[in-house]
Amino acid sequence: MASKLNMVSAINSALGSEMERDRRIVILGEDVGREGGVFRVTDGLQARFGAVRVVDTPLAESAIMGVSLGLAAAGMIPVPEIQFEGFLHLALDQISNQIGRLRTRSRGRWGLSMVLRVPWGGGIHAPELHSESPETLLVHAPGLIVVTPSNPYDAKGLLISALRLGEPVVFCEPKRIYRAVKAEVPEGDYTVPIGRAAVAAEGKDLTIVAWGAMVREALKAAEELETEGFSVEVVDLRTLSPMDSATVVESVRKTGRLVVAHEAPRTLGLGAELAARVAEEALTSLLAPIERVTGFDTVMPLAQLEEHYLPGHRRIMAGARKALAA
Amino acid sequence: MAKGMYFERFDPTKGESLQILDPEGRLNEDLRPDLPGQRILELYERMSVMRLADQTALNLQREGRMGTYAPFYGQEASQASAAFLGPSDWLVPTYRETGALFLRGVPLQSLLRYWMGDERGMRVPEGMRVLPIQIVIGSQTLHAVGLAWAMMLQGEKSAAVAYFGDGASSQGDVHEAMNFAGVLKTPVVFVCQNNQFAISMPRSGQTAAATIAQRASSYGFPGLLIDGNDLLAVAGAMNEALAAARSGGGPRLIEMLTYRIGPHTTSDDPSKYRTAAEVDVQKPFDPLLRLRRYLGAKGLWNDGAEAAILAKARAEISAAVAAAEAMPPAPVSDMFDYTYRVLPPYLERQKSEYASFLKDEASRGGRHGF
């Protein structure tokens, strides 16, 4: 059985079915229980599993992550939520210095099973610090797995994989596509592999790499470039760390041209790492300089200028045309 | 009442709290602060404008003319605490201090611009000691301690006022701010507007302690719990705390117990976590209602005066809305220009490349200008 679900419902469905299966899973965070989360992602779960397993915590991001480390080290599977990515920074010591490093620091004695869920990125006209894409901070921290889905099917399958992985996973949820599309999502459980990119569209003239909400923009750009006579391949990275650059390199060997598109600022955005890896492994296959279509190295603006900051399909097309002209 | 008596007389660790004007508008003469009737009337008028501005902002959001907004309906007396700062005191606000900022003198049209998604609204007028609205919960309390410390170092007899809420009291930064303030004896007044909700979480879920005010004693400075819907208690507490801070007496914590009648923000649906009946219980404690009763009994207010106040308020607010909406949108360059004192070359390039992109888009029928 499958039904048409948006990403919010797909994530809710994954949490519900895994909580049925595994009593070690507990959800904790601000407003996740009675309110069902500010985006309603955990809606109904407290009624279903009780206030002991779906816990409204005091307002303290560092505490939410710090106690999650303790819960996980003692054998629970915490699913903490940080309400918006802008508030991750309050918990960076716990996430990066503590959670990411415990396996190493205990010489393998404690790996942590947990999934930190956090809404990600711009495009919903939200207030300040509710629209950023700080994935570089997480990918730069050794020991963390970082995942971001681009559609409801992957959201459920990746989250189930994350809950069973036995690693600390940060699950970045692109909030602007939370409810934007519905897709067929199986009612039962299934997994989508972590650490593997997906080819979202096949092509032979140019590769566009994107993740999260930017995959839709990349696919739209590919479709329009098709009408201009170009065949474009779109790679959805899906897991940001560890990064599946092999799939990207393989695609570039075929197309010879690469555009990387992301919302995060350009400098040290993941586009930089992808460009470096492609240069290391497939430099001789490149027919044009690599193009990065990204957010700017500025503060993410408030709603009125937001659409200028976010690279939409038109900017991706401009980058693609430049690569195709070379 | 003699100066310097509120903090000594009302001990939050013993469950004591300060109320001077009760919900019926009856004044406790014994506790009366130094605030003439005309000044009370003037503040009542500003609180009325504030309330109407808050409702207007909510309506603008509902009509799609403004972005997400955090209303302060019910907290007008606590917001009026800003009226007791002197020009050289610092005000360090959160996103719910629209009323306080308005009283401080930040133009209403700037505040509206900010909530309309235009960061130019964040720039306060020259010479005004106000930091930009804080979005992250609790972080600003540390900034206030730093401002206060600087004033000590610079030999200024002024104070910094840090606003935060009951939710923020759970954040590590707020603990750290109070601890630093206690150790350094900085002239800072911590104003906790306990509106009893952090989105869906009631105050009882934030801390197992009976009050937030009682924490002050563990940091080594006085704390006071007051009725945050009582303008006279706000006045008395603020004047005493500011005087102490400015004269080398170190920090103070005031917990203003109030109630958030409206939603957390316009994105919030309170029916998920509280009943309308719960909110109705709070309505008789309205901060404006008791002032009307008090001023009415004194012959300083009547229905005719109210009509005049509201008519004036409507005109003031309409003018601010019109000015905010008439302002042309910010140029795209605004996004780049404040990042650094001097734009580094690579950012200059991002800016010019984007300008060329928009020009090229325009030639393809696009709609943006730089």
CATH code, B237: 3.40.50.970
pTM of the model: 0.96
Domain count, chain B: 2
Q: What is the CATH number of domain A2-186?
A: 3.40.50.970
Cα-to-chain-centroid distance, residue A309: 19
- The answer to whether residue B370 sits within a structural domain is no
- The answer to whether residue B318 sits within a structural domain is yes
Task: Decide if pLDDT at B70 tops 60.
Answer: yes
Share of chain B above pLDDT 90, in %: 96
Residues B63 and B208 in one domain: yes
Task: For residue B101, give how far its alpha carbon lies from the nearest alpha carbon of chain A (Å).
Answer: 18
ipTM field: 0.95
Q: Do A298 and B336 touch (CB under 8 A)?
A: yes
Task: For residue B169, give how far its alpha carbon lies from the nearest alpha carbon of chain A (Å).
Answer: 8
Q: Inform me whether the C-beta atom of residue A189 falls under 8 Å from chain B C-beta atoms.
A: no
Residue B264: active-site member:
yes
Residue-averaged pLDDT of chain A:
97
Of the candidates A38, A90, A302, the beta carbon closest to that of B118 is on: A302
- Domain ranges in chain A are 2-186, 198-325
Do the domains A198-325 and A2-186 match in fold?
yes
Residues B292 and B321 in one domain: yes
Residues in B closer than 8 angstroms to A42, CB to CB, are none
Task: For residue B334, give how far its alpha carbon lies from the nearest alpha carbon of chain A (Å).
Answer: 9
- The answer to whether residue B248 sits within a structural domain is yes
- The answer to whether residue B246 sits within a structural domain is yes
Of the candidates B199, B335, B346, the beta carbon closest to that of A308 is on: B335
Candidates 3.55.50.30, 3.40.50.12780, 3.40.50.920, 3.40.50.300; correct CATH number of A198-325? 3.40.50.920
Residues B222 and B339 in one domain: no
Cβ count near A210 (within 10 Å): 27
Residues B219 and B347 in one domain: no
- pLDDT, tens only, B307-351: 999 999 999 999 999 999 999 999 999 999 999 999 999 999 999
Residues B50 and B120 in one domain: yes
* Whole-number pLDDT of residue B297: 97
Check if the beta carbon of residue B313 is closer than 8 Å to that of residue B52.
Answer: yes
Task: For residue B263, give how far its alpha carbon lies from the nearest alpha carbon of chain A (Å).
Answer: 13
- The answer to whether residue B368 sits within a structural domain is no
- pLDDT, tens only, B202-213: 999 999 999 999
Residues B344 and B291 in one domain: no
Say which amino acid occupies B111.
Answer: L
Q: Do B135 and A127 touch (CB under 8 A)?
A: yes
- pLDDT, tens only, B347-359: 999 999 999 999 9
Phi, psi of B33 (to 5 degrees): -80, 170
Residues B322 and B342 in one domain: no
- pLDDT, tens only, A153-166: 999 999 999 999 99
- The answer to whether residue B91 sits within a structural domain is yes
The residue range of the domain holding B350 is 334-363
- Would you say the C-alpha torsion B360, B365, B368, B370 has a positive or negative sign? positive
A 243-272 residues with CB below 8 A of B?
266-267
Residues in A closer than 8 angstroms to B173, CB to CB, are 90
Share of chain B above pLDDT 70, in %: 98
- The answer to whether residue B14 sits within a structural domain is yes
Residues B310 and B349 in one domain: no
- The answer to whether residue B369 sits within a structural domain is no
Interface with A, mutate which of B199, B203, B351 (most A CBs under 10 A): B199
User: By CA distance, what is A29's nearest residue in B?
Assistant: B201
Of the candidates A36, A62, A125, the beta carbon closest to that of B172 is on: A62
Q: Do B206 and A129 touch (CB under 8 A)?
A: no
Residues B239 and B221 in one domain: yes
Cα-to-chain-centroid distance, residue B131: 12
Residue A262: active-site member:
no
Cα-to-chain-centroid distance, residue B60: 20
Of the candidates A56, A90, A309, the beta carbon closest to that of B136 is on: A90
